[in-house]
Amino acid sequence: MADMPTGQHYSRTVRGLFAVVGWIWVSLAHGANPPAPFARSPYVQFGGTQSIHVVWRTVGPIRPVVRFGRSLDRLDRQARNADVVVRAALGTNDQVLPDRWAALRTRSNLALPRLHSAPLGTFQYEVRLRDLEPGHKYYYAVFDGEHRLTPVDESYHFVTHPPVGSKVPVRFWVLGDSGTGREPQSAVYQAMLQTLEKEHHPLDFWIHVGDMAYGVGRDMEFQSRFFESYEGTLRNRVCWPTMGNHEGRTSNGRTGIGPYYDAYMVPMRGESGGVASGTEAYYSFDYANIHFICLDSHDLDRRPTEPMARWLKADLDKARADWLVAFWHHPPYTKGSHDSDKEKDLIEMRQHIMPIIEQGGVDLVLTGHSHSYERSMLMDGAYATNTVAENVILDDGDGDPNGDGPYRKSAGIHPREGTVQVVTGNAGQTLGRNGSLPVMRKIIIEFGSVLIDVNGDTLVARMINREGVERDLFSVVKRGKVTPVRLALPWQPEAYVKPTNTVSIPAAPALDHQVLIPEGARWSYVFDPLPRGSDWTRLDHDTSGWMTGEAGFGYGTGEYRTRLDAMRGKHGILYARRTFEITQADRVTELGLWIDYDDAFIAYVNGREVARVGIGRSSGRNAQKITARSGSTSGRQYVTLKDAHLYLNDGVNQLAIEVHNASLDSSDLRFDPILILED
Amino acid sequence: MAVSSTGNGWLRQGIAVLLALAWMLTSVRAHEGPEHEIEELSELMAARGEAPHLLIDRAIEYAVLGRNAEAMRDLERALQLDPDSLDALRELARLQFVEGRNADAVATASRALRSSPENPVDRAGLLILRAEIQAAAGRLREALSDCQSALRLHAENPEWYLIRSELQRRLKKHRERLRGIEEGWKRTGAGLLKIERIDAQLDARRYREALEAIEEEMASSRIPGPWLIRRGRARLGLGDKDGGVEDLRAGTTAIDAMLDRDRPDVSLLLDQAVALVLLGEGGEARQVLALAEEKGRDPAMTARIREWVTRTRHEDSSSAATGRASERLAP
């Protein structure tokens, strides 16, 4: 059964809105850009019992030095030069570069490994700190030669993995589909941080199950929607990633190339435990008494005779930990925003990979992709399409120690004693639901993420929603000998009836943004006569004869800086233009309009259409199917200028907008835009 | 980045408040998977006109739903608009391959290669794709040649060494195969290449080396069935008939003990089929293989084992395995 009816969900969402407004304001006023001189603040990667990596970026080269030690005021060790890897973005031979960047194309710099789609002039430093003690805390600082770049701040620290096999308490955070840069992403993160603080129990590390950089995993999307969003945690806790389909648009698991692979460092040679994969696309690592396995469900062959599945089998063959946890992006079981009974990638993960996972004795599978929280009962062998619950459920209780009790398995690793599936693609992207999968025990369509504690033979997982409320709790205990029994007629969730007119969260500006064209800016505009063709949308168009005025424009009800009463009853279309400047177009993540309009508009950047609202076909005088804007949606809306970054130039750019009334008889027309850039 | 103007406090505050208001008042559709993406992309193209990148995006969503014909149609349209689009060519070749249109797939991959991708890794990836298609079409030498070219351009991908190894096995180039695996192992450190080396040693009848490596692996193995079967092969090859048969039987028993035949790990079934072939139990091997095909839902992955089983069809099913049989049946 779904845990929260839609109406209740809505009212909770509305109440929550008021609570976060203050927080939004604080966030808007205090952006999270990396402090100078970093283009990407230092973060830790690829941890182990005796080593870890510190990674950061600068604009232009530095002399990279990392000092570290057991106390903040005594950083008495220094990483060796041989343990530093440098990558750079220096453009291509046929690219016309500004002098500043052209000067960096020296022979030695061009020999460096290349960063993909990073802004020109970016240098990435990856420094391995070695010969560390297991389970110890170290502080670190980054220098340019002798000049210290990071402040004297205890947040610049890390803790090495405890000895392999040790039964120390372990806490890790799991989230997926977060990388929007919008408010829900931050709310989920803050809720997790507040939970840690309230419980005085920090994380040991975290796992991201993919889609951390919408829309296509470009370098700048990683920067603003992942690195800046989680900077405080990235600085001292390793994030173990798996690639989502959105990162997969620009990164390739077969070649290991792209912004995703630039951003992360993971073990390829079994350095952190497990069988060497030889690739960053899939890998494994040990943490205390847990063995973690990461797969690439996006763009590799999933069949059991192919390399990834063969490696999985080999890795499971050698695994000796008390607990086995696997994670990847595409869920084998879901009816959230995706449907595992319909989609090929999901079906293949279920039919080809899950048999190996369950034969290998994996306890927990963590995935995302579906923008929902769904958690299964203890289950085994559900490979059919469509998924059914009969004879695949081993325990149909809720797994809650205070409810039906924890799921029980034998101590050690045994095949086919049951796996719990957790789909947690609810950390930022718009939520969705298609139905109820019969193997699921909890289906919660709320923003949130998962905190997992493992202590000896007990695992406890909790879904914490964006308000910090614990919305699901289940536990698995591995003790003694348990003989699994398949249930012929297990508990099943209630069938889901999709509501009509679902209320959901609309697009909103990124929290961290700059204003390119402010409210009240002066625009050129014309409505009589309208220029012919579409040249008026280009930068070089001659606008002599156009009028100028301050936004907003309009007539009818409301107040306008520039009134257009002459249009009433005579002219249904307004053309408006305004330039804006950008000094480095390859740093742009997203452009958007924060716009009040009536009734409809089309926006162009440098002559290319980037947004269309309320106009069905064609443009200008030929525009068709114009929809009147409903009174219930009045006020400013955020409209993403899709693909605008593709058309931007360094220097001056042109924004052009045509505004349409649904009919000449309309009593009003309104146009009041602000152009925003995600920072 | 410098911009023409920057926001100020009151504006940001205003935006925050308006954002919250708009949030409460506005209804939009939730994200609802690939069908929704297809709908949105279709609407976008109806309004803005077709663009190669939008067509490719839509093709990817169609492919996720298994609607390959529509995906290919979009990719072909994208190529009409941008004949050199590497993304479109790559995806189209892959889909043609999936659909069994091998000749078209080779032609598309070749066209992509002629567009000369600047990045050597892109080029290598296309060569591997073409090699896989050629191999599926039975053109092993051409496939091997593509594979060798790819590895010269990019030598870091363990998967590509495995593809080359399989081609060399099928072409019975055992010495080159072992050399190539060794090179890949040194270069990438991939554990799978270590296992592949053992299989290649068995295929090359270097049973003593194989036996040593197998026993080393068995010492740390938690799932002994497949290793027992490999050891059985090695022992048979070394003339230890009793030891070999004992291992093969122990291997199949170990797999039986851990396998749920209603919900099997197909890869274990394939291991078991190998053992049954070596034991001369062709009939049982065929049954196991049929189960693997039924449960695995992909006949292509059982092709190699089926080839062995077919070769045993005319063998005397009552004869026990011998060292000679092992050599004859060695894949």
Structural domains of chain B sorted by starting position, each given as residue range(s) with its CATH number in brackets: 38-154 (1.25.40.10), 159-204 (no CATH), 219-331 (1.25.40)
Contact A506 B3 (CB under 8 A): no
pLDDT 10s digits, A320-347: 999 999 999 999 999 999 999 999 999 9
pLDDT 10s digits, A529-541: 999 888 999 999 9
pLDDT 10s digits, A375-408: 999 999 999 999 999 999 999 999 999 999 999 9
Residue B300's pLDDT is 63
Q: What is the largest CA-CA distance in chain B?
A: 90
What share of chain A has pLDDT > 70, as a percent?
A: 93
Q: Which of A94, A95, A255, A410 should be substituted to probe chain B, the one whose Cβ sees the most B Cβ atoms within 10 Å?
A: A255
- Decide if pLDDT at B30 tops 70: no
Residue B312's pLDDT is 54
User: Sheet harboring A84-88: ordered strands across?
Assistant: A38-45, A52-59, A122-129, A84-88
- A487 three-state secondary structure: coil
pLDDT 10s digits, A408-466: 999 999 999 999 999 999 999 989 999 999 999 999 999 999 999 999 999 999 999 99
Residue B297's pLDDT is 59
Is residue A220 within 8 angstroms of chain B, CB to CB?
Answer: no
Tokens of A239: 């994030």
Residue B180's pLDDT is 97
Is residue A299 within 8 angstroms of chain B, CB to CB?
Answer: no
ipTM of this model?
Answer: 0.86
Q: In which residue are the tokens 């210290």 written?
A: A148
Residue A500's pLDDT is 65
Mean pLDDT for all residues in chain B: 84
Residue A228's pLDDT is 95
Confidence of residue A7 (pLDDT cuts 50, 70, 90): very low
* Average pLDDT of span A165-187: 96
- Decide if pLDDT at A624 tops 90: no
Q: Name the DSSP letter for residue B221.
A: -
* Cβ contacts from A onto B, under 8 A: 264
φ, ψ for residue B177, nearest 5 deg: -60, -50
Provide the total of helices (H) and of strands (E) in chain A, helices listed first.
10, 39
- pTM, two decimal places: 0.88
3-state secondary structure string across A56-91:
EEEECCCCEEEEEECECCECCEECCHHHEEEEECCC
B324: Cβ–Cβ under 8 A, 6 or more apart, which residues? none
- Decide if pLDDT at B289 tops 60: yes
Nearest to A278 among B17, B24, B189 (CB): B189
Contact A638 B47 (CB under 8 A): no
Residues A52, A157: Cα–Cα separation, whole Å: 11
Q: Which of B267, B271, B306 should be substituted to probe chain A, the one whose Cβ sees the most A Cβ atoms within 10 Å?
A: B267
- Decide if pLDDT at B220 tops 70: yes
Is residue A473 within 8 angstroms of chain B, CB to CB?
Answer: no
A244 CB-contact burial (10 Å; exposed 0-12 / middle 13-18 / buried 19+): buried
- Superfamily of the domain at A1-30+164-506: Metallo-dependent phosphatases (3.60.21.10)
What share of chain B has pLDDT > 70, as a percent?
A: 79
Domains A32-160 and A513-678 share a fold: no
Residue B318's pLDDT is 37
Contact B190 A514 (CB under 8 A): no
- For the domain made up of A513-678, the CATH class stated in words is mainly beta
Confidence of residue A33 (pLDDT cuts 50, 70, 90): low
Nearest chain B residue to A501, by CA: B27
CA separation (Å) from A456 to A323, A337, A409?
9, 35, 13
Contact B128 A359 (CB under 8 A): no
Could you give the dihedral angle defined by the CA atoms of residues B222, B223, B224 and B230, in that order, rounded to the nearest 10 degrees? -120
Residue A290's pLDDT is 98
| Domain segments of chain A as ranges | 1-30+164-506, 32-160, 513-678
Nearest to A633 among B2, B26, B188 (CB): B26
Nearest-neighbour CA in chain A from B250: distance (Å): 17
Residue B31's pLDDT is 54
Q: Which of A28, A214, A446, A619 should be substituted to probe chain B, the one whose Cβ sees the most B Cβ atoms within 10 Å?
A: A28
Mean pLDDT for all residues in chain A: 91
Residue B299's pLDDT is 63
pLDDT 10s digits, B52-84: 999 999 999 999 999 999 999 999 999 999 999
Residues A588, A610: Cα–Cα separation, whole Å: 15
Contact A415 B46 (CB under 8 A): no
* Average pLDDT of span A615-623: 86
- Decide if pLDDT at A567 tops 90: yes
Does the domain made of A32-160 have the CATH classification 2.60.40.380? yes
- Decide if pLDDT at A630 tops 90: no
Lowest mean pLDDT: which of A42-51, A336-345, B264-273?
Answer: B264-273
